[in-house]
Structure 1
Amino acid sequence: MTAVSVDVLRRAEGRVLDLAVELLETATRVDGVRPVSEEAELRLRHGGPDDGRDLVLGQEGRAAAYARLDRDGDGWQAEFVVHPELRRRGLGTVLAERLEDLAGDAPLAVWAHGELPGSTELATSRGWTPTRTLLQMRMPLAGVDPDPRPQLPDDVVVRPFRPGIDEAAWLRVNGRAFAHHPEQGGWTAHDVALREAEPWFDPAGFLLAWRTAPDGTETLLGSHWTKVHPAGEVADEPVGEIYVLGVDPDAQGLRLGRALTDLGLAHLRSRGLTDVLLYVEQDNATAVRLYEGSGFTRFAVDVQWHRAAPRS
């Protein structure tokens, strides 16, 4: 293989950005899984934290490989993809070496989406070890109750999200519900705004459970944010997703999680969708059993690999 170079950019723009996005779309179509997370793609298209970087390897007039590198506590987190037509040529190794150089002495975690054979081979060849496994689970919507009527406390009502009004309340509850989650618990108003601007955003499928006090004040207790993936993104047909489902710890015991789940699934079915997906940590055995008992089955696996120390 001839020598190749990797452009390390504060932010990909113009033609470089277009080529990187085209690479992600091509890899999604060929592999059947998204090559990077939604968060990484949003940061590619809209920019991210000041210390984050886009890495682009150009070859043959296209983006041959792309990576997103961001700070993660005391270390770094990355995701990358090689063009399907240019794999097995050492380009993944070039990108991995560049990521390790940029991480320096700090820990480096790299996500491999879909657990493709080439990703596993590359990671193990560099001495990386798997530290997290994220399951994608799917379920048909045919058996979902199209008109659930969950029994809620008399002072609790579920209604759709109101853009420009409900963001602060949702962020507060999301932070409490996912206080120990490495990604979800740290969302900001900017993260929500980016998603509100996405073509898939639909406030009618973003359901919030509110409690009304005797004086009329309302407190958000939990929510179910659903999403619809367009045809060609995760399947040939559109697919729904349990995108974010969270209940304030102080509201546990009210069965709001079950109620919000049923209402969200009914909404997705009303959109004419046939399947729904969700993501869950493999080591969350309680949640996995719950979803399996509800009819979800394992569909795909994302693995996070970890390099604790620089290679000698």
Structure 2
Amino acid sequence: MITWSWRDRLEGDDAVEVAALLAESVDYDAEAGFSTARPDAPASGAVHHLVVTMPPAGSRGSAELDRLPDVRVVAYLRLDRDGATAQAELVVRPAFRSRGIGTLLLEQLALAPDGWASMPGLVTLEGWSHGAHPAADRMRSRFGGVVEHAVFKTLRPLGGSRPFVAPVAAIRESAAPEAVTELVPGHRAAMAPGELATLGLVRTVIALEEGEGSALLGWDPGGAGEQVATLTVLPGEGGSRTALRELTVQALLVLQGAGVRMVQAYVDALDDVAVSVARELEFVHDQSDLRYRLALG
């Protein structure tokens, strides 16, 4: 049904068709915010591209498959390997999903001599699923993977008929650095473009005059009233719950004063204090992003 081959780089028809597959997937997954892949993204190690193809319509072995779009590339896997561990980003073309292609691919890679065995020393795959894609969890269960980390995406309205009210505390404001710190390392790697665009709005860093931690705030000053702002609260070393809550409160006041009406914030799901503060301040859970780990062999 499918064939596949590794590439050290994407060129020619492969590059064109993989780009088309990713563009189609991004558009299809825009509302759900599911993960994507970026062939040319910065890498921590050696990058390998796996191009998954299917025969032309009429020679696929079943009438059902023959009715699907007549395209050659049906899936793409980007592997960023650093020693024994590799970060994996897998995208299946939308029309070909829920047909076992991802499962079949991993089965073949596990058994074939030119699969994982062709990369001596590779023992672990890691990868994010943004939006908790159901296929990702099915494959985790099928191949014995584990959920290693999780990040909650939360939303909170501001202003309007129910403005956020709290005492103003002394804070320090500064311009955000070009390289923005991640809440959980690797979380942004396969994030959907829409989510990245919101995070790219970061413009200001605030910190309490008295208290640990900092908060990254981003909004479009010229945006319409329905715009979504971004907030990332970074607790300091040994920071207290009180300081974390106060920092979040002051961040909300700054955003509300700037005219923002909706705030999007990511929360480390393994940080009980951060989760508790988010709930107390009426942030509502929108989606869960999960980091999976799969031991090979």
TM-score (norm 1): 0.64
Identify the residue that residue 153 of structure 2 maps to in structure 1.
136
Matched, 1:113 2:114: no
Q: Deviations over 1:121-148 (max 9, x none)?
A: 22212222333333222222244548x7
What aligned pairs does 1:1-312 form with structure 2 within 5 A after superposition?
Answer: 2-10=1-9, 15-16=16-17, 18-29=19-30, 32-36=32-36, 41=38, 44-57=39-52, 60-61=70-71, 64-71=74-81, 74-97=84-107, 101-102=115-116, 105-142=122-159, 143-145=162-164, 150-152=168-170, 158-161=172-175, 182-183=185-186, 201-202=200-201, 204=203, 206-209=204-207, 222-227=213-218, 238-242=227-231, 244-249=232-237, 252=239, 257-269=244-256, 273-310=260-297
Structure 2 CA distance for aligned equivalents of residues 16 and 51 of structure 1: 22
Deviation at 1:160, TM superposition (A): 3.6
Deviations 1:153-184 (A, max 9, x none): xxxx522416xxx56xx88xx59xx7xx5448
Code of the residue aligned with 2:229 in structure 1: it is G
Report the AA paired with residue 282 of structure 1: A
SS in 2 for 1:5: strand
| Shift in alpha-carbon separation, 1:199–1:306, aligned structure 2, 3 A | closer
Is the alpha carbon distance of 1:106 and 1:259 closer, same or farther for their aligned partners in structure 2, counting shifts above 3 Å? same
Q: Distance in 1 between matches of 2:137 and 2:269?
A: 18
Gaps of 5+ in 2: 55-69, 189-195, 221-225
* TM-aligned CA deviation for residue 87 of structure 1: 0.6
Q: Which has the higher helix share?
A: 1
Partners of 2:22 and 2:144 lie apart in 1 by 30
Q: 1:260 to 1:290 in 2, by over 3 A?
A: closer
Paired with 1:135 and 1:254, the residues of 2 have a C-alpha distance of 18
Query: Percent identity among equivalent residues?
Result: 22
Q: How many residues align?
A: 259
Shift of 1:307: 1.8
**Partner-residue secondary structure (3-state), 1:150:** coil
Q: Please, what TM-score do these two structures have when normalized by structure 2?
A: 0.66
> CA offsets per residue over residues 35-88 of structure 1, 9 Å max, x none?
24xxx64xx354433413344435644753233322467422223222222112
Q: CA offsets per residue over residues 22-44 of structure 1, 9 Å max, x none?
A: 04422422x612324xxx64xx3
